[in-house]
Structure 1
Amino acid sequence: MTASSSAPRAVTRLGIIGAGRIARAVMAGIRNGEAGAYEVCAVLARRQADRTDITAPLTTDRTEFLAAAPDLIIEAAGPTALAEHGEAALAVADLWSISGMALADLALAGRLEAAGRQSGHRLRLLGGAIAGLDAAAIAARDPGARIRIEAITDEASAGAPAFTGTARQAMAQLHGVNVVAAAAIAGTGLDATELVFFERRPGARRYFNIHIESRLGNYVMSSSPNLSPETGATTIVAASVITALLQAQQTIWAG
């Protein structure tokens, strides 16, 4: 009997929006084979740059970028990039984004929803530096579920919070809280999710604590990403993208 060999997995073509630290870290992981069978076919950047660490074709023209016909587009450039390119990207492929803050704009969220429904493509928000999205989504099946997020530091008890309110209100007043947006959207929504936010001084450790109360159960999750003084959360956010890519090609996975 001749043993049969499994066919090699087809390579998925990726378009990357962004050429900053997170995007370059993601591309490095793909080049190193950490993500599986992927290749970057195009990179869309705000400005043309001679970067030796970007080997894929780089353009500042969105039409040229989309003409590369990516199978999947990853936005790794921030909320402004999602707002600017999200609709056009969804017209040609599924879109993964690290920038949930952008969806606090109801008009933009509506346009992205409409674009996805028209094309059949979907927008996925990646968790980045926060855990607990699955629990938030499960708890949200209870209309009476309550989700509270605390963004604290190891010095939080030393002063009053800089912000207390809903996640949607936070998006208009705070910076760098894409993880809060992702958790809120996964769960009860931006208007029904409460946030208590403490500023973090350089060198202090950040903790994101999610408290969930629902008829399905009560959950408490705490995430404390390792932040670099030079690059912030680049490593953990890039790792979340690489992990999602790897899982998308696994035959069996959890979560």
Structure 2
Amino acid sequence: MEEQPRTRRVGILGYGKLGQFLVSQLLSHGPPLGLSLSFVWARSAGALQALPPDLRLADLRHLPSTGVDLVVEVAHPCLAQEHGEDILRHADFMLGSPCALADAVTERRLREAAARGGHTLYVPRGALWGCDDIARMDSAGTLQALQVTMTKAPGSFRAQGWLRERLAAAVASGTTTELYRGPLRPLCPLVPNNVNTMAAAAVAAPSLGFDGVTACLVADPSVPDWHVIAVEVTAVAEGGRALTVTSTRRNPAGAGDVTGSATRHSFWSSVLACTGHGGCVKLC
């Protein structure tokens, strides 16, 4: 008798709009694809009241007893910083907040944990268009520069520190305002909910990384229900001349949302790609 493929048990960390979408997908479409929902965890246990009790994980310390195969984080980068190593001891880990890797210590610890435990640290591409092409250029040694510009309505940014004051000034002026232009690394802790697409670009292009990728944030009140992401790539072509590629992605989004609607489906596709690739870091 032919052996049936084993069902992969998936746990979700975070129950905002993206977490709710992934839970719905797992419950409705997962079983025929060999996926089952193992548990859901949220920082506020009250957010999970609509779920059956057996799907609620009250304490992350109980994660090893769930038999989970893949843990998907869609909550906040602090989860990777505080619990990522423990998760990778027991399961593959899809890091929905890859801006956590902007902290060099966290990145090193997670990479080492993946190698030690033989589990994969997955980084979803999210809204990053051309991710595979960027990675190929970087691997070939031809990538020279990479800039990602993210334009959203002011209400879609969740800014902290000094950037919050600049955002408030932009809101007061009612005009299009460039909030930031510069290296990606120092931006990540200022808007951790907004720059994960940029962080995916830094992972796709390790020769540039968080210090070499240029990030640009623009608050534009004329796009209340869109997230616009422009990716500009510069690479060396034959004869030493520069190859340039520019792509612009207009993603529909609800007013004030930090994640566009099409990105939710991108995350689901990433979950389907997390089939276990050994102790490494892998874009999905």
* TM bucket normalised to smaller: 0.7 to 0.9
2:251 and 2:261 in contact (8 A); partners too: no
**Per-residue deviation, residues 173-207 of structure 1 (Å, max 9, x unmatched):** 33411111111221131111112221243715331
Other structure's SS at 2:94 match: strand
Change (3 A) 1:28 1:18: same
Counterpart for residue 270 of structure 2: 244
Equivalent positions of 1:189-228 (< 5 A) are 189-201=209-221, 203=224, 205-215=226-236, 217-228=243-254
Counterpart for residue 252 of structure 1: none
Specify which of 8, 11, 14 is matched with residue 10 of structure 2.
14
**Per-residue deviation, residues 13-72 of structure 1 (Å, max 9, x unmatched):** 112112222111101011111682211112222232352246752123112122101111
Give me the whole-angstrom Cα distance separating, in 1, the residues matched to 2:128 and 2:54: 30
Number of aligned residues: 244
1:98 and 1:127 in contact (8 A); partners too: no
Change (3 A) 1:34 1:69: closer
Equivalent positions of 1:92-241 (< 5 A) are 92-141=90-139, 142=141, 145-152=144-151, 159-175=176-192, 176-187=194-205, 188-201=208-221, 203=224, 205-215=226-236, 217-229=243-255, 231-233=257-259, 235-241=261-267
52-61 vs 183-192, which moves further: 52-61
Shift of 1:126: 0.7
Other structure's SS at 1:121 match: coil
- Relative to total residues, which structure has the larger helix share, 1 or 2? 2
**Per-residue deviation, residues 118-169 of structure 1 (Å, max 9, x unmatched):** 11112111122232211211121226521111223599xx655211101112
Give me the whole-angstrom Cα distance separating, in 1, the residues matched to 2:271 and 2:253: 23
Letter in 1 for 2:187: A
**Per-residue deviation, residues 72-117 of structure 1 (Å, max 9, x unmatched):** 1111112122222211111111111110111111111111112111
Counterpart for residue 61 of structure 1: 59
Counterpart for residue 165 of structure 2: none
Identity over aligned pairs, percent: 20
Counterpart for residue 36 of structure 2: 39
Where structure 1 has 5 or more consecutive residues not aligned to the other structure, the ranges are 250-254
Tell me the TM-score normalized by structure 2: 0.76
Letter in 2 for 1:181: A
Give me the whole-angstrom Cα distance separating, in 2, the residues matched to 1:17 and 1:133: 25
Letter in 2 for 1:193: V
Other structure's SS at 1:124 match: strand
Let me know the Cα RMSD of the aligned residues.
2.7
